[in-house]
Amino acid sequence: MKILVGYKRVVDYNVRIQVKPDGSGVVTEGVKLSANPFDDIALEEALRLREKGIASEVVVATIAPADAQAHLRNGLAMGANRAIHVVTGDAVQPLTAARVFLKLIEKEQPQIVILGKQAIDDDCNQTGQMLAALWDRPQATFASKVEVSGNAAKVTREVDAGLETIEVDLPAVITTDLRLNEPRFIKLPDIMKAKSKPLETLQLADLGVASGDTLKTTNYAPPAKRSKGVMVKDAAELVAALKTKGLL
């Protein structure tokens, strides 16, 4: 069984996001870029399925600018067998990403596609669902537990009301939630081995994918700054202040 994993590069979770002064986007130059945390979880799950003998091959794929090769090498170092780099200079929106992954599915014929439930840069949470629809296969989103047996996967999902367990026929799309697993550390010997693992490069323009980018962002702005607190002398002054603000 082959598993295809989406592996997006985003601004590191711990970096304090700064908006460009002209409002055209967020600052990414000189900022730490890492794998989307949900995609790390997706890759970890795929590797565990391979280690259990259920999968035989794990392929990581990203849609990113040409300088994202090092990012894919990290995915290979973590344990993926192969990587596919779909090169584009532009950020793509979920529908375009889903169409690209459909192309990759046609090419690779995976039994399971595991994606992060969302990427922490735009937080769209759409690509997995769109891909399942385009592919016309089942989807199991927000997975916190995945058990594969035969031609089906039993997936425990994190939903508003608690946990929901569903069974989907394979092939299927699974998207990961935070509690699914804890991704492993990348070993230095594996980083060296990853240098010789196959990394295929495709140009997005050559894939014949119609762009689904229909949204245009006109402006980025940081959230309003919290104003400084004021010190009150005593409880009476506090009550008075709360009353003038209409909070009491």
Nearer to another protein, 20 or 32 (CB): 32
Nearer to another protein, 187 or 243 (CB): 187
How buried is residue 210: exposed, middle or buried, by Cβ count under 10 Å (0-12/13-18/19+)? exposed
- The CB-of-153 to another protein minimum distance in angstroms stands at 26
- The CB-of-37 to another protein minimum distance in angstroms stands at 7
- The CB-of-192 to another protein minimum distance in angstroms stands at 7
Nearest to 4, CA basis, from 87, 93, 88, 86: 86
Which residues, 6+ apart, have CB-to-CB distance to 38 below 8 Å?
Answer: 115, 116, 117, 118, 119, 120, 175, 176, 177, 178
Nearer to another protein, 185 or 247 (CB): 185
Nearer to another protein, 15 or 166 (CB): 15
Q: Which positions lie near another protein, rule CB under 8 A?
A: 12-15, 30, 32, 34-35, 37, 40, 70, 74, 78, 182, 185-189, 191-192
Place of tokens 């003038």: 244
- The CB-of-220 to another protein minimum distance in angstroms stands at 20
83, 35 contact by CB (below 8 A)? no
Q: How far apart are CA 165 and CA 168, in angstroms?
A: 10
State which H helix or E strand residue 105 sits in: helix 94-108
Nearer to another protein, 16 or 216 (CB): 16
One-letter amino acid at 209 equals: V
- The CB-of-93 to another protein minimum distance in angstroms stands at 24
CA-based R_g, the chain, Å? 22
- The CB-of-35 to another protein minimum distance in angstroms stands at 7
Q: How far apart are CA 123 and CA 130, in angstroms?
A: 15
Nearer to another protein, 17 or 152 (CB): 17
